[in-house]
Amino acid sequence: MIRVRNLAFRRLSVPELIIPPGSAALIGPNGSGKTTLLQVLAGILKPEQCCVSINGRSPEECRIGFVNEYPDRNMLFSRVTDEIASSLRFSRLPCDEISEKVELTLKCAGLLRLMNQRIHTLSGGEKTLVALLAATIYSPEVLILDEFDSHLDDRTVDTAEQIISRSGASSVVRCTQNMEVASRSKTLVALFNGRIRESGDPHEVFSALSKTCFVPFGWRTR
């Protein structure tokens, strides 16, 4: 379980937010603070007064995978294998073990063709998939995705979803502008103007947002 308390940072004002284990989607207008909230959950941003706990521990004590919306901002290295292997190398695993795991990871994702590629030669979708593999190869407890799918075609999205499902993360928190994707989450959080407007089961949240544009098209005719 992810718990946030006393978050007052930039435009965010969140006295308390509880996100149960499983899949969760964060929705709301642009500029509402969604990216900032995700970065706080990931431990990238550390407001002084805020308390964030993940299963009773701080984000720094957990393995967290994070994927940015913009593909190039995720990249630290020039080669695909180095990028995917980065978290394993930081953990000081043996080189042979790392190489084998990177190859297996690419193979399972159907992306072995990218193994010897350099990052700058990849398409935007391929960069996103590489970033996702880098975020999941070390078996994260929590996977945080900031509109990573906003520039992907349907085929690449399908591959990404398969990678996510194999990650083993107990919690997957994603920000998305796709309400159909959001509706498939176990928990839905609606953030408007820096404040939690609704949080809970998607049916309840979408019912409360029925007069807004943040409702799946199919739900509007119910």
> Could you tell me if residue 60 is inside a domain?
no
Say if residue 164 is in the same domain as residue 185. no
> Could you tell me if residue 163 is inside a domain?
yes
Say if residue 159 is in the same domain as residue 98. yes
Say if residue 78 is in the same domain as residue 162. yes
In terms of residue numbers, what domain contains 31?
Answer: 1-55+171-222
Q: What is the CA radius of gyration of the chain?
A: 18
Say if residue 31 is in the same domain as residue 70. no
Say if residue 2 is in the same domain as residue 29. yes
CB contact at 8 A, 195 and 17 = no
Q: Tell me how far apart the alpha carbons of residues 169 and 163 are, in angstroms, rounded to a whole number.
A: 11
CB contact at 8 A, 162 and 129 = no
**Residue range 63-98, pLDDT digits in tens:** 999 999 887 887 889 999 999 998 888 777 888 999
**Residue range 111-141, pLDDT digits in tens:** 999 999 999 999 999 999 999 999 999 999 9
Say if residue 80 is in the same domain as residue 124. yes
> Could you tell me if residue 35 is inside a domain?
yes
Say if residue 162 is in the same domain as residue 77. yes
Half-sphere exposure at residue 18, Cβ-oriented, CA atoms within 13 angstroms: 6
Q: For the chain, how many structural domains are there in total?
A: 2
Say if residue 6 is in the same domain as residue 82. no
Say if residue 77 is in the same domain as residue 24. no
Say if residue 37 is in the same domain as residue 7. yes
Identity of residue 8: A
CATH at residue 17? 3.40.50.300
| Predicted local distance difference test score (pLDDT) of residue 221 | 55
